[in-house]
Chain A
Amino acid sequence: DIQMTQSPASLSASVGERVTITCRASQSIRSYLNWYQQKPGKSPKLLIYSASSLQSGVPSRFSGSGSGTDFTLTISSLQPEDFATYYCQQSYSAHALSFGGGTKVEIK
């Protein structure tokens, strides 16, 4: 099975800061990589699909990049509503989908 490793596990940042989260796959997954945002007590929400495509309605301060094994989610200017946990997810292996461990973004 493909293992997804996110770093860091958590980070503290201030409003307006640029934030970068990394996701690494245990083997090449081409661009079969998605990012989700989850706020406390809520279900996950799709942010980015296909490594770099913004889901409809998601603010443009969110962006994704990468292919193969290394991927990045960037928030260009952190807003109060962005404090949440972010997960990457691979869909390359259709028989064994998997998520990263998550990155919790907290207020500094």
Chain B
Amino acid sequence: EGQLVESGGGLVQPGGSLRLSCAASGFTVRNNYMSWVRQAPGKGLEWVSVFYSDHNTYYGESVKGRFTISRDNSKNTLYLQMNSLRVEDTAMYYCARGPVLMGASDAFDIWGQGTMVTVS
């Protein structure tokens, strides 16, 4: 089974930028849809972005225009460029494989361990 390892989190000031990475092993990101999901401290899961293809990416309303999802097939890695960061962007950021077609639905079947982003 595959594995995802996130990195790049840290402490950043409001208005700053950060780029998160998600390295995949055991499968190729090129052949899969990939997403970012975040979780603020003590809160629930919030979908952030999905990469279907180079010209087919989508974002949650709270990050639209500020975050950019991308992929490097040669490195088998997914990225999340985060600009104009706000205090409310403080969260654990998870990379997930999916949506993956499963039965009559699409789900996130592999998750990374997460990387913490603190905006303060």
What's the Cα separation between A36 and B111 when bound, in Å?
Answer: 11
Say which residue of A44, A91, A98 sits within 8 Å of B105 (CB atoms). A91
A39 in contact (CB, < 8 A): no
What's the Cα separation between A67 and B115 when bound, in Å?
Answer: 34
Number of residues of chain B lying within 8 A (CB) of chain A: 25
What's the Cα separation between A55 and B103 when bound, in Å?
Answer: 10
Number of residues of chain A lying within 8 A (CB) of chain B: 30
Count of A-B contacts with CB under 8 A? Answer: 78
In chain B, residues 44-58, which have Cβ atoms closer than 8 Å to a Cβ of chain A? 44-47, 50, 52, 58
Say which residue of A45, A96, A97, A99 sits within 8 Å of B111 (CB atoms). A45
The SS class assigned to the A binding surface is: loop
Q: Is the CB of B104 within 8 A of A46?
A: no
Which residue on A lies nearest to B60, using beta carbons? Answer: A96
Q: Is the CB of B44 within 8 A of A100?
A: yes
Say which residue of B47, B104, B109, B112 sits within 8 Å of A99 (CB atoms). B47
Q: Is the CB of B47 within 8 A of A98?
A: yes
Q: Is the CB of B99 within 8 A of A94?
A: yes
Q: Is the CB of B102 within 8 A of A97?
A: no
